[in-house]
Amino acid sequence: MSHGVSNGTEERPAPKSRKSRGAPTPGPRRSPVRFVPLAILLAGGVLAYALGLQDYVSLSALVDQRDALAAQVAAHPIQSALVFFAVYAAVVVFSIPAASVLTIFAGFLFGWLAGAAVAVLSATLGACLLFLAARGAFRDVLRRRAGGFLDRFAVGFRDNAFLYLLVLRLAPVFPFFVINIAPAFFDVKLRTFATATLIGIVPGTLAYAWLGCGLGDVLAMAAASGRSLALSDFVTRDVSLALIALALIATLPLAFRLIQSRRKEA
């Protein structure tokens, strides 16, 4: 019968796949499209510098135009606030180092409280946009490639992200754009980032906006001394000490949590 006849060949089992052999399988490839938002922001920043736009938001340029700007705000307060908001957010997104100058002029143009409110909201929005672009491009990079100390630091940062960011915002030791990008490597949630940024920059923003209200007095002192106005004329020792004190106070809950976690591990 046909079923008892052999054709001279034996069926061989199919070779095992790499996966069945236990070979490691590569992780899912992420689309290079994730780099597009960050690339756009970087290109925009480079273009802004190439066109010299940073000169228009420098201290000297704003001081020279202070009367015209004040008149514009007096004639069109709402529209001026919206334009200022957009300019401030763009400065933060493109990492142009003019946030402190703009905060001072926010206090000069809109008053201490209103100017600080506009600066806080626009700075938070710009920081969140930059953070989202960086997180989309670099999310999980540190988790895959780093180890040892950096890996433990990443875990600690995720566990205490709000307090870490709050301390960094209260004490402006690092440049603003660095703090906007660094949390993207540690899988920080947008809500945590936005809340810590919004709260953390309030004291410094209020201080700079308040100093901006006294712009006329600072200009008079600079003229009397026979030198040009500089940003350091606004950064007084008392303000700096106050911000450092706030940062030290903010570290107390973080230090307490770290001590508690070490006691539990022991």
Q: Give tens-digit pLDDT for 230-251.
A: 767 666 666 666 666 666 766 6
HEC profile of 46-108: HHHHHCCHHHHHCHHHHHHCHHHHHHHHHHCHHHHHHHHHHHHHHHHHCCCCCHHHHHHHHHH
* Domain range list for the chain: 34-224+231-265
* Angle (nearest 5°) at CA 44 between 39 and 48: 150
Angle between helices 161-170 and 237-265 (to 10 degrees): 160
Q: Is the pLDDT of residue 50 over 70?
A: yes
Chain-centroid distance of CA 126 in Å reads 8
Residue type, 218: V
Q: Is the pLDDT of residue 178 over 70?
A: yes
pLDDT digits (tens, 9 = 90+) for 132-147: 888 876 665 555 554 4
The reported pLDDT for the residue numbered 49 is 77
The reported pLDDT for the residue numbered 241 is 65
Phi, psi torsion values for 94, nearest 5 degrees: -90, 5
Whole-structure pTM value: 0.72
The reported pLDDT for the residue numbered 149 is 46
The size of the chain, in residues, is 266
The reported pLDDT for the residue numbered 103 is 92
The reported pLDDT for the residue numbered 258 is 62
pLDDT digits (tens, 9 = 90+) for 98-115: 888 899 899 999 998 999
- Tokens, residue 111: 């008053």
Burial (CB count <10 Å: 0-12, 13-18, 19+), residue 63: buried
Local confidence band at 164 (pLDDT 50, 70, 90 cut-offs): confident
Spatial separation of the C-alpha atoms in residues 86 and 80, rounded to whole Å: 10
More confident residue, 219 or 98: 98
Average pLDDT of the segment spanning 65-77: 93
The percent of the chain in helix, strand and coil, each rounded to the nearest 5, is 75, 0, 25
Residue type, 145: R
Average pLDDT of the segment spanning 242-266: 64
Spatial CB neighbours of 195, under 8 Å, sequence gap ≥ 6:
162
